[in-house]
Amino acid sequence: MKTVSRIGVGGPVGSGKTAIIEAVVPRLVESGLRVLVVTNDVVTTEDAKHVRRALTGVLVAERIIGVETGACPHTAVREDPSMNLAAVEDMEARFPDSDLVLIESGGDNLTLTFSPALVDYFIYVIDVAAGDKIPRKNGPGISQSDILVINKIDLAPYVDADLEVMSADATRMRGDKPFVFTNCKTGEGIDELISLIRYHALFDLSEPAGLGLPAAGGRQEARRVTA
């Protein structure tokens, strides 16, 4: 059976994990990749329903499923990922032509990570509205994720968040691991994020567009948003 890349997408409640998936999937599909999506919620499958609606005409509904974990989000993707493993393996068996599966965790805190038994690669999403202190608060999600996404940069002027401070703190906490600023409403930063995914998770060794990243990783310059 073909090897499918498994990419985890985690982060706090409301940081924009689902929006990131809905933003990147159409561009990944347009580039010729065949994508599966697995979402996690504690007592519903609401995120899966939202993704199906948003990606109508992009992915057939059967390529998107929801897992109702009934437990803490981190348990279902780290300590005991058996429900997600079963869902992913079922999807991969039904769609053996797939190139990658995006696995969205339920909303959790800065300690969230994914079991290496479940994913090959891990994206962590935070948002500007939570304050520019979040990167320096650190935690495994901030420092250990393969890509850190700092989302909702359009809100920076309204919450007095300084993107340069967030950039400096993210650099200090992550070293050479990449991070990217995004705005899912306008699409800003999404192409850069896709380049990082293709380069680091899918081993597309072409230069990530606009980033100038070295082979081992890199980081994007902060973009200040003004009112």
106 carries a ligand binding annotation: no
**Please, what are the domains in the chain?**
5-201 (3.40.50.300)
206 labelled ligand-binding: no
The whole-number average pLDDT for the span 92-100 is: 96
- Ligand-binding annotation for 17, yes or no, is yes
Q: Please write the tens of the pLDDT for every residue from 41-72.
A: 999 999 999 999 999 999 999 999 999 998 88
Residue 152 in marked binding region: no
Say whether 2 counts as a known binding-site residue: no
Other Cβ atoms less than 10 A from the Cβ of 214: the count is 8
| The pLDDT of residue 175 | 96
Residue 12 counted as an annotated binding residue? yes
Q: Degrees (nearest 5) of the Cα angle 40, 12, 200? A: 80
pTM of the model: 0.90
pLDDT at position 208: 55
Pair 150, 171: CB distance under 8 Å: no
Question: What is the reported pLDDT for 70?
Answer: 86
Sorted by sequence, the CB contacts under 8 Å of residue 140 that are 6+ apart come out as 110, 111, 112, 113
15 known ligand binder: yes
Alpha-carbon distance of 196 to 213, in angstroms, equals 9
- 51 in a known ligand binding site: no
DSSP assignment string, 4-46: -EEEEEE-STTSSHHHHHHHHHHHHHHTT--EEEEEEESS--H
